Amino acid sequence: MSSYLIKGGNKLRGSVDISGSKNAALGVIAAAMLVDGECLLENVPEIRDIEVMLQICASAGAQVERVVQNNVQAIRIDARNLHPDCNLSDSTRQIRASYYLLGALLGKLHAVRMKMPGGCNFGSRPMDQHYKGFAALGAQVETKQGDILLRAGQEGLTGAHIMLDVVSVGATINLMIAACKARGRTFIQNAAKEPHIVDVANFLNAMGAKIIGAGTDIIRVDGVETLPGGKTYSVIPDQIEAGTYMIAAAVTRGDVVVRNIIPRHMEPLTIKLKAMGITTDIGPDYCRICADEDLEIKPATFKTTPYPGFPTDLQPQTTVLLTQAKGKSCMIESVWATRYQYIGDLITMGASIEVQGSYANVTGPSALSATRVVARDLRAGAAMVIAALAAEGETQVEDAEVVKRGYERLEEKLSALGASIRLVP
Ligand code: EPU
């Protein structure tokens, strides 16, 4: 495993272009397996999780090719000739989003078998809502010896009225994908509303699906026999990557224009940053974040909730910002009960934080100092990088690969903003 070596103290300055959304692209690639023609995907980030997803699709028989068209990089996927055995490669264990292939292959081949998905370890990551939805669509669901087996009859799935007991991004996308080829109409009630759910729905509709309501809490899908495809689709910008750079700009007392974003998606963060006294200058597709050296950052309370609430995937990065606010701040994590594994590392760096259940009570401002820390999961790793950028001395962030899973060209982008960061084996 490699590490990042980061010399702290440089204020980030300049502009950074945000890449395509990891979580949207993962859903879109899986959904492309349902399509009966070619599709061309643009703005897909070059990161490890995407590589793994593409390899799994290729091993299932899809033709996957990187191409350059009109000077734009794209990925061509043709899933017309999938292997009929419905067994997915064991690489599905490496990433969480491989679970979307359950919905896609169940919809297309009427059966699928795969290993339990992997991804960041926040303790328990149940899939009961996925299973419940597949069963409502008429599939038999079996889990044994680390395998998931789904089988529909020869006729395939049948539309159903599904009520999710938990607002789940994964279950919403998975069931929406599966329902596209079910006979009849499906409703997904209490659906999640994250931007990448809308993106996957837009992609599927562009390929011939009939989905309405994505982005609201009731999604309606009218099943179609085929999804002709044959279209080009561009993935939305990454809300979480954008938020990570915005927070890094504020924590280092920098001045950064974060470009190629959808400002609406950033509101759960930008509204709060503004309330903390940080300058947020928002344009049609950018946001400038500026925090002067002498600015007294105001304390704040954040609570993570499903979109349009504050995203849990920005929780660790935001907690670093709270260590720089003057007074008592509070982070409340309501999505992943055990997403505070990184707090010990921040305390070692000099932060004053007390965790009580889902509450992290932060007293600031704290001067952070360099030490050796670990990227315990993707977003915790991003938080360590941000803390290191503001710390005095050279911090080693171990297991950099964990961060590279989700951030395209992180060292390059941060270096261009003036950070001192290098990757060492
Ligand atoms: N849940 C259930 N049952 C289910 C599914 C979820 O109880 O069947 C619970 C979970 O335990 C959790 C809550 O519902 O408490 C939300 O989980 P959700 O299903 O929404 O999460 P996910 O689909 O597994 C995606 C992202 C995560 C992000 C969460 C929440 C992808 C590939 N992953 O996970 O992203 O934290 O939504 O927004 O889209 C990341 O990118 O770093 C990441 C972890």
> How far, in Å, from the CA of 127 to the mean position of ligand 1?
9
Ligand 1 atom closest to residue 96's alpha carbon, by position in its atom list: 32
Name the residue with the closest Cα to ligand 1, atom 19: 168
Answer whether 52 contacts ligand 1 (Cβ < 6 A): no
Rounded CA separation 5/46 (Å): 22
- From the number of C-beta atoms within 10 Å of its C-beta (0-12, 13-18, 19+), residue 395 rates as buried
Sequence letter at residue 158:
T
| Residue located nearest, by CA, to atom 36 of ligand 1 | 313
Whole-angstrom Cα Rg for the chain? 22
Number of helices (H), then strands (E), belonging to the chain: the values are 13, 23
Nearest to 142 by CA among 168, 101, 113: 113
CA of 2 to the centre of ligand 1 (A): 27
Q: Any idea which residues carry the catalytic annotation?
A: 120
Q: Which residues contact 369 (CB under 8 A, 6 or more apart)?
A: 349, 350, 391, 392, 393
**Residue ranges in 180-290 assigned as alpha helix (H):** 195-207, 239-251, 263-275
- Distance of alpha carbon 83 from its chain centroid, rounded? 29
CA-based nearest residue to 258, from 293, 285, 295, 292 = 285
> Is the CB–ligand 1 distance for residue 170 below 6 Å?
yes
Q: Please answer whether residues 379 and 315 qualify as being in contact, where contact means their C-beta atoms are separated by less than 8 angstroms.
A: yes
Write out the chain's pLDDT in tens, 425 residues: 899 999 999 999 999 999 999 999 999 999 999 999 999 999 999 999 999 999 999 999 999 999 998 889 999 999 999 998 878 889 999 999 999 999 999 999 999 999 999 877 777 789 999 999 999 999 999 998 889 999 998 889 999 999 999 999 999 999 999 999 999 999 999 999 999 999 999 999 999 999 999 999 999 999 999 999 999 999 999 999 999 999 999 999 999 999 999 999 999 999 999 999 999 999 999 999 999 999 999 999 999 999 999 999 999 999 999 999 999 999 999 999 889 999 999 999 999 999 999 999 999 999 999 999 999 999 999 999 999 999 999 999 999 999 999 999 999 999 999 999 999 99
- SS3 of 407, please? coil
Omega before residue 299 within 30° of 0, cis: no
Q: Using CA atoms, how far apart are residues 411 and 407, in angstroms rounded to an integer? A: 9
Closest residue (by CA) to atom 14 of ligand 1? 168
Cα(321)–Cα(300) distance, integer angstroms: 10
Q: Indicate the top mutation candidate among 163, 169, 307 to test ligand 1's pocket, ranked by most ligand atoms within 8 A of CB.
A: 169
- Give the distance (Å) from ligand 1 centre to CA of residue 193: 12
Residues 6+ apart with CB under 8 A from 128: none
The answer to whether the CB of 168 is under 6 A from ligand 1 is: yes
| pLDDT tens digits, 208-241 | 999 999 999 999 999 999 999 999 999 999 999 9
